[in-house]
């Protein structure tokens, strides 16, 4: 029965590319007319056939993790990208679309991230091991979209370009007080303190990140200019000239978008500027992947541009600039995936094969999402006054202006 159900589902779904499938009984079937994406996949037992027919998104990730969906490592990206592309073009069962719609309507219930739950969610992902992240991130441990301003850039170069682009949008001057919401391992805060002369307060809910950020500040000799704290951003009661937040809005959750931007409004000085860097949908709001929510980012939510715009409109802030970065995060994730695969021997000394397949699938799914769906990165520049920032973007691309800021800080 379930073989028939899945067979019919795949015939309606795969309308481009080709999926070559081996069933548990050894029979084979091909789906799709062919094209640039093709993958060979085997299903190991009848149980995974049933699960794919009942809950395809969750079963796809779990089946690959536990080895019941067998794909050669070098074909995992093509396999996932093939399915993601066809989900945009082909036809899924009506019941699947209804379930997705219901999950979207109830996202406000699923993602109530109070401070305690937020900390548990963050620690689930970030406190597994700094050593794992050092394997695939750049040397500054930037765990967010890089900025590839020209072909052939290394990951290190592109991450530096991202930080410089953000710093220019913040219009930082020496001595300014800066809040970094979700400071990670401290790279952005250290850059603003070291290269721009700012005094930075960075907050995180990850104990691992806090310890690493504090150690880095001491090692780089800027501990007097940065203050890293284990603290929920909602508990801050100070004022700041600049507020930056890179890759943290995705952890806030749909019900808390108003609360988040209201807090930015409250903490930012009258002449202040804020830059929020976040993954976002440039399409209608969509529910978080069940697999991602369960195994990677519990409580996470990728907002749509309409959702963040509505939340900003309910504050006293100007959206002085909104930029959508396209084509950068897929490339970033490809770099991370290459580094992860190149270091498998080291990873195997730390984790079992189930974890390795889980992490590979995570990196692949995210890369495919950025390459195949309406997903990008938002740069939301916010201020209380419309003239707090220049009225054109010329200042972002004038080397002389950037050099002047750098020299003033030194």
Q: What is the dihedral of CA 389, 395, 396, 400, to 10 degrees?
A: -140
Side-chain half-sphere exposure of 20, counting CA atoms within 13 A: 10
Q: Which three-class secondary structure state does DSSP give residue 230?
A: strand
198 CB-contact burial (10 Å; exposed 0-12 / middle 13-18 / buried 19+): buried
* β-bridge mates for residue 246, sequence order: 277
Cα-to-chain-centroid distance, residue 326: 13
Q: Which residues does 275 contact at the CB level (< 8 Å), separation at least 6?
A: 166, 169, 170, 242, 243, 244, 245, 379, 380, 381, 382
Q: For residue 183, indicate whether it is catalytic.
A: no
Q: Which residues does 128 contact at the CB level (< 8 Å), separation at least 6?
A: none
* DSSP tag of 247: S
Active-site residue, from 188, 366, 368, 382: 366
> Quick one: which H or E segment has residue 241?
strand 240-246
Judge contact between 214 and 230, C-beta under 8 A.
no
- The residues annotated as belonging to the active site are 366
């Amino acid at each position: 029965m379930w073989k028939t159900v899945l067979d019919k589902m795949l015939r309606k779904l795969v309308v481009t590319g080709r999926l070559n499938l081996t069933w548990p009984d050894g029979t084979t079937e091909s789906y799709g007319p062919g094209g640039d994406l093709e993958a060979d996949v085997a299903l190991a037992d009848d149980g995974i056939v049933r699960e794919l027919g009942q809950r395809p998104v969750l079963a796809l990730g779990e089946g690959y993790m536990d080895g019941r969906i067998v794909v050669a490592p070098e074909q995992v990206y093509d396999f996932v990208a093939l399915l993601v592309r066809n989900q945009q073009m082909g036809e899924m069962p009506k019941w699947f679309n209804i379930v997705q719609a219901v999950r979207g309507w109830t996202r406000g219930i699923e993602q109530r991230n109070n401070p305690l739950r937020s900390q548990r969610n963050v620690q689930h992902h970030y406190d597994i091991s700094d050593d794992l992240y050092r394997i695939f991130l750049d040397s500054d441990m930037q765990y967010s979209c890089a900025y590839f301003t020209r072909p052939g850039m290394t990951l290190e170069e592109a991450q530096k370009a991202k930080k410089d682009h953000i710093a220019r949008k913040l219009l930082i001057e020496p001595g300014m007080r800066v809040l970094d919401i979700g400071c990670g391992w401290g790279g952005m805060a250290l850059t603003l303190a070291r290269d721009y002369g700012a005094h930075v307060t960075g907050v995180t809910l990850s104990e691992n990140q806090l310890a690493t950020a504090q150690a880095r500040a001491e090692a780089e000799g800027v501990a007097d200019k940065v203050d890293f704290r284990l603290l929920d951003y909602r508990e801050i009661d100070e004022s700041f000239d600049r507020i930056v937040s890179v890759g943290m809005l995705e952890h806030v959750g749909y019900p808390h978008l108003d609360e988040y931007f209201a807090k930015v409004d409250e903490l930012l000085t009258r002449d202040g500027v804020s830059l929020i860097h976040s993954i976002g949908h440039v399409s209608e709001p969509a529910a978080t992947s069940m697999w991602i929510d369960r195994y990677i980012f519990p409580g996470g939510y990728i907002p749509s541009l309409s959702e963040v715009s509505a939340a900003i409109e309910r504050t006293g802030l100007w959206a002085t600039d909104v930029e959508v970065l396209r084509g950068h995060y897929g490339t970033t994730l490809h770099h991370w995936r290459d580094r992860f695969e190149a270091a498998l021997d080291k990873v195997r000394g730390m984790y079992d094969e189930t974890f390795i397949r889980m992490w590979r699938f995570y990196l692949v799914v995210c890369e495919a999402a950025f390459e195949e769906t309406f997903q990008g990165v938002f740069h939301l520049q916010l201020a209380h006054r419309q003239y707090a920032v220049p009225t054109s973007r010329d200042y972002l691309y004038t080397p002389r202006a950037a050099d002047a800021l750098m020299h003033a800080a030194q």
